[in-house]
Structure 1
């Protein structure tokens, strides 16, 4: 979609939970052996195989520096290479709509993947502000249901 329309689309999600916008949460679907990255309000990436949280949090090299030479040491942060093998490239799903479900008191982003998240107005006062993520049992064929939200006591992102 055009740039202005995409910013409006992102701001639609920000209306429901601005403190979490673009934050990445990591999920694992052990049954399918998938690693899943949810960037709240924007996109979901599904990677075949189980990758460590450290590898998933490292940004992919989907950009070039100003002088367009392939020099990956020029950045002040680490990057991971983009996989050339089509089987190893992540599948990217962009969130098509965001809405608030009054009955559940949760925000829902949809595509062929449904992400359910409860707004947290006290998020800015908490540390760390990283959300936990779980794949939920599906009640519909062809749809992946996920929950993103506050971690439980002593819960960590793990393989």
Structure 2
């Protein structure tokens, strides 16, 4: 503290001390400094394939669930986290062959349903729902792959937020419901007709192999998505199975 009084914040001073020791840091993508403002949805809906470690600045950013306070939203997230902490925010993508939908699951948080098939590299990009930490830094570059967040909500994927999560003898069930109703026109093949998505999975036990070489899980549409409820199952991909657009 005496040598670096000009550095603002404890993290900057800790970095200076580590630099003096000659230690090289390894970036762990489960740490989230969250040096951005606004809606964290884009970052959390396309989380890296690593266990969640930290979330910073939640008192500055918008609540991670709509229609809640920051503290209430965090308590709500803990319902799923306490059931399956290693799977929280882990992104899984599957394709519905009946309606040509692309479904991106951020487990325990939210599901995005595109009304068309989207290539996997595009489905796992982070929607830029947030803004730079420093004011006037609109042209700031991020160290992750961002995607356009369309200004017209009717042209964005339909979002379903986690409503509940429970664990039983046959595995884990999490329920996601649509919480924002935009005034958009749609037909019988649009995902906007859905009101609820149910996801079935088993507890994710992360071992050394998974940490060294993480692999995205696969998911299946369990039945025809013709009603107001869609059911999905998350599972490990088979040895030579690919996640790809039909």
Provide the secondary structure at the position in 1 that maps to 2:155.
coil
Query: Match of 1:136?
Result: 222
1:113, distance to aligned residue in structure 2 (A): 0.5
Query: Which of the pair has more CA radius of gyration?
Result: 2
Distance 1:135 1:43, change over 3 A: same
Q: How many residues align?
A: 156
Distance 1:135 1:52, change over 3 A: same
RMSD of aligned alpha carbons = 2.0
Query: Match of 2:28?
Result: none
Distance 1:158 1:40, change over 3 A: same
Q: Which runs of structure 2 are paired with 1:19-30 in the superposition (5 Å)?
A: 19-30=86-97
- Higher strand content, 1 or 2: 1
Name which structure has the greater RCO, CA cutoff 8 Å, separation 6+: 1
- Alignment of 1:13 with 2:99, yes or no, is no
1:141, distance to aligned residue in structure 2 (A): 2.9
Given candidates 80, 95, 107, the residue that maps to 2:172 is 107
Q: Which moved more, 1:34-43 or 1:75-84?
A: 75-84
- Alignment of 1:42 with 2:109, yes or no, is yes
- Alignment of 1:94 with 2:161, yes or no, is yes
| Partner Cα distance (1:120, 1:132) in 2 | 13
1:123, distance to aligned residue in structure 2 (A): 4.7
1:110-138 deviations in whole A, cap 9, x for unaligned? 13100000113245542324211111115
Runs of 4 or more, structure 1, over 6 Å off, are none
Task: Provide structure 1 residue ranges, at least 5 long, that are not aligned to the other structure.
Answer: none
TM-score (norm 2): 0.59
- Alignment of 1:82 with 2:145, yes or no, is no
1:22, distance to aligned residue in structure 2 (A): 0.3
TM-score (norm 1): 0.88
Q: Which moved more, 1:12-21 or 1:35-44?
A: 12-21
